[in-house]
Amino acid sequence: MAEKAVLQVGDQSIELPIIEGVEGERAIDITSLRSETGLITYDPSMGNTGVCQSEITFIDGDKGILRYRGIPIEQFTQSPNFVEVVWLLIFGRLPKLDEITPFSELFTSNALLHEGLRLQYNDIPKDAPPMAILSATLNSLSYYHQELLSIEDSKSFMQAAARLLSKVRTMAAFAYRRSLGLPFIYPDPQLRYCANFLHMMFSQPYQQFEVTQEIEDALNLVFILHADHEQNCSTSTVRMVGSSQANLFASCAAGVCALWGPLHGGANVKVIEMLEGIHSGGIKPKECIRMAKDKEEGFRLYGFGHRVYKNFDPRARVLKEACDKVLAQLQVNDPLLDIARELEELALEDSYFVDRKLYPNVDFYSGIVLRALGIPTNMFTVCFSIGRMPGWIAQWKEQHDNPNSRIQRPRQVYMGPKENNYVPIHKR
């Protein structure tokens, strides 16, 4: 017989079903709680609430495990291929050779921006934050591709997904070029996904940027490690917006907005700013640790801590190793890496961090790899967005394809004034 939880409220006792995930995670299904008892559950910031059943990504935060469609992320690191992971996340299995080629071709044929959109860049202020440009331009796909606002079949889904996955690189690179007043570099159909992005970022009209295999591998790795992370803040945002049956472009643009914050994807910028501050002589690593522990300081050790991981973030482990390799290959000597290592060592020996199970997260080392590739700090979270795009699309699709999906609508416990009377302005 299926297991049930029994809830006693006053003299009423109700049984609630327990559902079990394939990895043994158990959840009490409270769908009938309110209709049977009038009660709702209270879980601020949703630290203990499952909002969906998903087949995409598995995390065991206590053991430091992350798997995409069952495959541990460490297995993607040998010859990293982001486009394969995109397919895997979205369609649920690794692609065959005769599937990946047309999929890549779809990216090539969708890499250009609508001419109207390209011209829009000229009116954007030069100092505009690239994340603002990215969310706005992604959303603008909703008016350039109105035929894809409602996705009725697999063909239109594929068309919309390919536009997002391909154009996001072009939009990001154009945002960077605009900030420097440089001419836009058009995508090159001969180049693979990551190489093409670097080409649009760094080539000049008179000189092609040389993308070595090492650089291409490193960027593939960074994108893969960011590709999905189940129900995090930005992905939950994409699902929330998508649950109203808003279109895929608008839902993913909302994901970019959520990712921007310093407690989420924006942390990769904060980490580098913190390391640069330490390096330029402002603060010593020990002082930084002291400040992070002192609540009065209002300072956090960016790149540390995670809602789900109470152990090493497996992505940070891979990136820490990648830092050594990439910096050596590119012959880059970055003093920030030494500082990051020292901070990590100090934190992992400090009872404040040990007791709270605060370990380095993906953002702690990702910025150092991106810096080594020549990516400027204000583009770090944009690169995170490019990497996360397949995850957002896969999660949106899973929700869209589920016939039982309903609009997401959390409840609240109201604590404001009791019923009151309106007072006309001259009597207040």
- Residues engaged in binding ligand ACO (CB under 6 A): 263-265, 267, 292, 300-307, 356, 358, 361-363
Q: Which of the following is catalytic: 228, 313, 334, 363? A: 363
Paired tokens of 128: 């505009």
Residue with tokens 């990712």: 259
Closer Cβ to ligand ACO, 294 or 401, answer by number: 294
CA distance 242 to 233: 14
Closer Cβ to ligand ACO, 117 or 289, answer by number: 289
Coil vs helix vs strand at 100: helix
Instruction: Report in angstroms how near the CB of residue 304 gets to ligand ACO at its nearest.
Output: 4
Q: What is the Cα 8 distance to its own chain's centre?
A: 40
Whether residue 290 contacts residue 337, with contact meaning beta carbons closer than 8 Å, is answered with no
Closer Cβ to ligand ACO, 67 or 264, answer by number: 264
Residue 58: enclosing H or E segment and its boundaries?
strand 57-60
CA distance 124 to 133: 8
Per-residue DSSP letters for 325-382? Answer: HHHHHTT---HHHHHHHHHHHHHHTSHHHHHTT--B-HHHHHHHHHHHTT--GGGHHH
CA distance 375 to 41: 44
Closer Cβ to ligand ACO, 34 or 356, answer by number: 356
Instruction: Report in angstroms how near the CB of residue 339 gets to ligand ACO at its nearest.
Output: 16
Closest CA to 383 of 132, 130, 210, 214: 130
Catalytic: 363? yes
Q: Which of the following is catalytic: 229, 306, 313, 334? A: 306
Which backbone phi and psi does 151 adopt, to 5 degrees? -100, 110
Closer Cβ to ligand ACO, 36 or 273, answer by number: 273
Whether residue 41 contacts residue 33, with contact meaning beta carbons closer than 8 Å, is answered with yes
Closest residue to ligand ACO, judged by C-beta, is 305
Closer Cβ to ligand ACO, 160 or 222, answer by number: 222
CA distance 163 to 107: 7
Closer Cβ to ligand ACO, 187 or 305, answer by number: 305
Closer Cβ to ligand ACO, 255 or 303, answer by number: 303
Which backbone phi and psi does 360 adopt, to 5 degrees? -60, 140
CA distance 261 to 245: 25
Coil vs helix vs strand at 26: strand
Closest CA to 328 of 372, 370, 371, 268: 372
Instruction: Report in angstroms how near the CB of residue 118 gets to ligand ACO at its nearest.
Output: 31
Closest CA to 268 of 235, 230, 213, 225: 225
Instruction: Report in angstroms how near the CB of residue 362 gets to ligand ACO at its nearest.
Output: 5
DSSP, res 30: -
Catalytic: 29? no
| 265 to 57, 233, 303, 361, 394: CA distances (angstroms) | 18, 9, 10, 11, 19
Whether residue 236 contacts residue 50, with contact meaning beta carbons closer than 8 Å, is answered with no
Instruction: Report in angstroms how near the CB of residue 295 gets to ligand ACO at its nearest.
Output: 7
- Which of the residues are catalytic? 306, 363
